[in-house]
Structure 1
Amino acid sequence: MTTIAAVSANFTRDLDQNYALITDLVSRARARGVDFLVLPEAAIGGYLSSLGNHGDTRRDAAVSLPPAISLDGPELARVGAIAGDMLVAIGFCELAEGPDGTPTRFNAAAVLDGSGIYGNYRKVHQPLGENMSYASGDGYGVFDTPVGRVGLQICYDKAFPEAARVMALDGAQIIASLSAWPAARTATAEDLQQDRWTYRFNLFDSARALDNQVFWVASNQSGTFGSLRYVGNAKVVDPGGNVLATTLLDSGMAVADVDIDGTFAAMRAGMFHLRDRRPDVYGALTEIAVTQGDLAHA
């Protein structure tokens, strides 16, 4: 059996707060025998304080942006030291050379333990002006780890079925989806568990797991940061789309014991979505460019 935990917690610009919280979460996870702990998007340094045209998403508003760190810097090394032999996925703002050779910020994630980094990912799909603060990634990787083959996604990526599918086809057994997913900005529900953005967050998690018959581990920020109010709902979902454990709106950990090989054998014995695809009729997925205006007049 493999024990997986998805975290819902609030991370800020205060790195000392971040490391103290990570240390506490790892300690609690270790006490429960967790093998793989998935922390939220921007767990090092916090996320943007607002989205859209609100000023603080400007690239030149550096004072409001999370600290940018490199893959080989001391920040991730410290997380690895805290994790020890526990596998951890974590989100952060990466500083790396961009396509034009200049230092560039990426909304990034890595999967690591005390022995080093197994793989890293840069967010591909950017919502609501996030491109004013980060450059986008250009691909999806799947990484061999002590718990199996793991793929990484960040937040809005989960709205795009192609993103999860390409990782499932590359052998992903577990997809870790790290988020800083807020409630709706307008007409927010009084009960956040009933908010329409909470509903979408949860629906995407179950749908992507079932689409691809993989284990889906969704972490999320909780509480508030700037103008954003997060919806929590960290969860572990099995390849049938069933939620095995969830935090709902609360901070904490959703923990589940899973039999990866046994579950795959059972779930894929009959209906096997990857085997039964028809790529010969899917050409339009990449050949047709659709704009918002096209859709409005469809």
Structure 2
Amino acid sequence: MASTPNTLKIAALQHRFYDNADETFAYIRKEVLRAKQESQVELVALQELHQSAYFCQHENVGLFDLAENFEQEITRFSVLAKEAQVVLVSSLFEKRAKGLYHNTAVVFEKDGSIAGKYRKMHIPDDPSFYEKFYFTPGDLGFSPIDTSVGRLGVLVCWDQWYPEAARIMALKGADILIYPTAIGFTPSDRPDEKSRQLDSWQIIQRSHSVANALPLIAINRVGFEPDSSNVGEGIEFFGHSFVSGAQGEILCKAESNEHTLICEIDLSRTQDVRRIWPFLRDRRIDAYGEILQRYCRESSLLDSSGNPHNSR
């Protein structure tokens, strides 16, 4: 018998960067309040590093100054969460100490208090995405954040490619996975390559829903952002934010334009799906030790009797 529905109405804000943090915040505030008033949402998720342009397209020590506003941003998003009476997932550039910076998701409760933080664990270093220059890997682990709307498994962008992160969040009791993201194409990418990248981005995240029977929110930014160093090509952020259900089904989706995605999620489906697809029950935890190695080389073969013997 199916369990009683436990629905959660959410909003995911997909938008461009509005030239500066104040104008961008004004847009975010307007959309959050509108989503609350018109749709009675309880959870709002924002895209990665929403308070600035995506500054990691090149390496520039002066750009660390963007993190000087971390406490100021904490204050105003706290006020917004309380004003709208929503649980709010933000994504901010954190200055933790002199020379120590993180890409940090901060989750606010409906009363404006901080429910918890997640510091991005997987840090990329690719052309146009030079994040290792700016961000220290997170040290808070993969730990869901308890809120009044459920236990949120918040991860950030590059984390989305790693099934291990989603799995650990699921094993720790996350009710939903949330991925603030900043991903896009460079102008020289061929159309077929753009299509493959977009498909891969959606498939990998929907697979986390399937493997863990969890709903998932992926929020990406939109718009073309030039490389301010005039060295790189710039990035065309492709949007396509979406919400998937406990079997990976698409519940709501956006295209490549600015859009506030409103969606209702039935959290009770996790239990229903796990009863018919008991993936957690059938995990071979006795046989996964090699996952902790960087790379596994075959060290043994079976002899004619089916017993292992050492290979060269």
The TM-score normalised by the length of structure 2 is: 0.82
Q: Is 1:41–2:43 an aligned residue pair?
A: no
Structure 2 CA distance, aligned partners of 1:208 and 1:185? 29
Structure 2 equivalent of residue 160 of structure 1: 162
Give the root-mean-square deviation of aligned CA atoms. 2.1
Matched, 1:245 2:243: no
Matches of 2:266 and 2:258, distance apart in 1: 26
Which amino acid counterpart does residue 90 of structure 2 have in structure 1?
I
What's the % identity of the aligned pairs? 26
The residue number in structure 2 matching 1:296 is none
* Aligned residue in 1 for 2:231: none
Q: Does 1:106 align with 2:102?
A: yes
In the alignment, structure 1 segments of 5+ residues that lack a partner are 51-55, 292-298
- Would you say the 8 A contact 2:144–2:152 is kept in 1? yes
Change (3 A) 1:289 1:248: same
Are positions 1:119 and 2:116 aligned together?
yes
One-letter amino acid of the counterpart of residue 47, structure 2: P
Partner Cα separation in structure 1 for residue 103 and residue 187 of structure 2: 21
Q: Which residue of 1 aligns with 2:72?
A: 74
1:192-224 per-position Cα deviation (integer Å, ceiling 9, x unaligned): 9x6222112111221111111111111111112
Q: Is the 8 A contact 1:182 1:229 kept in 2?
A: yes
Instruction: State the shift of 1:188 in Å.
Output: 3.5
Matched ranges for 1:201-280 at <5 A: 201-226=201-226, 227-261=234-268, 263-280=269-286
Q: Deviations over 1:231-283 (max 9, x none)?
A: 1011111110011001121211222212212x123211211222221111111
Distance 1:29 1:150 in 2: 20
* Residues 1:66 and 1:197: Cα distance change in structure 2 (over 3 Å): farther
Q: Secondary structure at the match of 2:283?
A: coil
Label 1:272 to 1:184 Cα distance change in 2 as closer, same or farther (>3 A): farther
Instruction: Measure, in 2, the Cα distance between the counterparts of 1:16 and 1:184.
Output: 27
Which consecutive segments of 4 or more residues in structure 1 shift more than 6 A?
A: none
1:150 alignment partner in structure 2: 152
Give the corresponding residue for 1:182.
Answer: 184
1:185 deviates by: 6.0
Task: Give TM-score, length-normalised by structure 1.
Answer: 0.85
Q: For 1:4-23, list aligned pairs within 5 A.
A: 4-12=10-18, 14-23=20-29
Specify the SS of the correspondent of 2:276: coil
Aligned to 2:300: none
Hey, what's the Cα distance between the residues in 2 that align with 1:274 and 1:206?
17
1:57 is paired with a residue whose SS is coil
- Contact 2:176–2:214 (CA under 8 A) maintained in structure 1: yes
Unmatched segments (≥5 aa) in structure 2:
1-6, 227-233, 298-312
Q: Which has the larger radius of gyration?
A: 2
Q: Which amino acid aligns with 1:172?
A: A
- Residue 288 to residue 154, structure 1, CA distance change in 2 (3 Å): closer
Deviates more, 1:178-187 or 1:146-155: 178-187
